[in-house]
Amino acid sequence: MSATIQSIEAILVDIPTIRPHKLSMTTMGVQSMVIVRMKDSNGLEGLGEATTIGGLAYGPESPESVKLTIDTYFKPQLIGQPAGNINTLRVMLNRSTRGNNLAKSAIETALLDLQGKRLNRPVSDLLGGAIHQHLPVLWTLASGDTDKDIEEALGLIETRRHCDFKLKIGSRPVMDDVRHVAAIKEALGESASVRVDVNQAWDEATAAKGMAELQAAGIDLVEQPTPMKDYAALVRLSGKFHLPILADEAVADAKDMYNLAASGFAGAVAMKIAKAGGPARALEQAAVAQAAGIGFYGGTLLEGTIGTAAALHAWSTLETLHWGTEMFGPLLMKDDIVVKPLNFHSNGVDLPQGPGLGVEIDEDKLNQYRRKA
């Protein structure tokens, strides 16, 4: 008889960041995560994670709402169900609950981790098998201070921890941002790839001006310059410049990817397991992007080690990650809640080994950072 789901716990965890992390819509000093612990009737435990950026500043789900959704809506449906029938459980949750992709991603991740431990196989095997054991990882420079960002980048290049950098812009006047970015690119030269993330802060006219200046400054990629649902602006801008656009907030799942590609968008897509509703759903989106000739980028919502590991297992199964990944979330946090942190080196990170996600909770650290009622 197959194992059944016996218990599900959703735990709020708050870990300070190593420095303020400035985005166009908010500045983060603490990362809040929902850690899911799912146990089956054989005594095995699956781990999942849902994380957002700055509470509700980034999107419609917050850590608090994710916990509420799991505790109130998902848990009663899942308890007693066969733990190995992941597709059936996904369909059931999708029929009973609209949206809430972050919460669904945490559940799908926990189910995959549980299945991997049951079969003694890594999650990447459940998704078709890893092609890559080491994945490239860029670093986001988000202090907002030009000299500090240059110093930080040069130090990371020297230690070979990162050689690609993304700059968070959009909160200042466009030409102030351009000067900031251009100065950093000039200081780093050809030794590093420099990209920018505008986080939807520009209208189309501002984006056209900003992209012209950024293209002239030698920037490699501009992420989501315009509001998420303004597909037409992304399409027009992608046809106007040879500087590629990375669609992020505009594309959550495979259907969004199809609609954007069908409208004529040429560029790249930032895939995130949380946006898509789980690792397997993110790979459906990748299949659509590949068919449309749109490049891949392994995106993050600044997850901790559990969520990062889940994404790495998914990205490892893709033949080509045209723009690499940004799975640096654990490095942004002052501490960790797992026994063995991920191994970041040689401008990237190793795929965790072992059954399931390949990560184990550190109970003392979890209790230290668990949000007290």
Q: Please give the positions annotated as active site.
A: 168, 326
Q: Check: CB of residue 370 under 8 Å from CB of residue 33.
A: no
Q: Are 133 and 316 in contact (CB under 8 A)?
A: yes
Token pair for residue 17? Answer: 């960041």
Instruction: Please give the angle made by the CA atoms of 289, 293 and 297, to the nearest 5 degrees.
Output: 55
CA separation for the pair 197, 199 (Å, rounded) = 6
3-class SS string, the chain: CCCEEEEEEEEEEEEEEEEEEECCCCEEEEEEEEEEEEEECCCCEEEEEEECCCCCCCCCCCHHHHHHHHHHHHHHHHCCCECCCHHHHHHHHHHHCCCCHHHHHHHHHHHHHHHHHHHCCEHHHHCCCCCCCEEEECEEECCCCHHHHHHHHHHHHHCCCCCEEEEECCCCCHHHHHHHHHHHHHHHHHHCEEEEECCCCCCHHHHHHHHHHHHHCCCCEEECCCCCCCHHHHHHHHHHCCCCEEECCCCCCHHHHHHHHHCCCCCEEEECHHHHCCHHHHHHHHHHHHHCCCEEEECCCCCCHHHHHHHHHHHCCCCCCCCCECCCHHHHECCCCECCCCCEECCEEECCCCCECCCCECHHHHHHHECCC
90 alpha carbon, distance to own chain's centre: 20
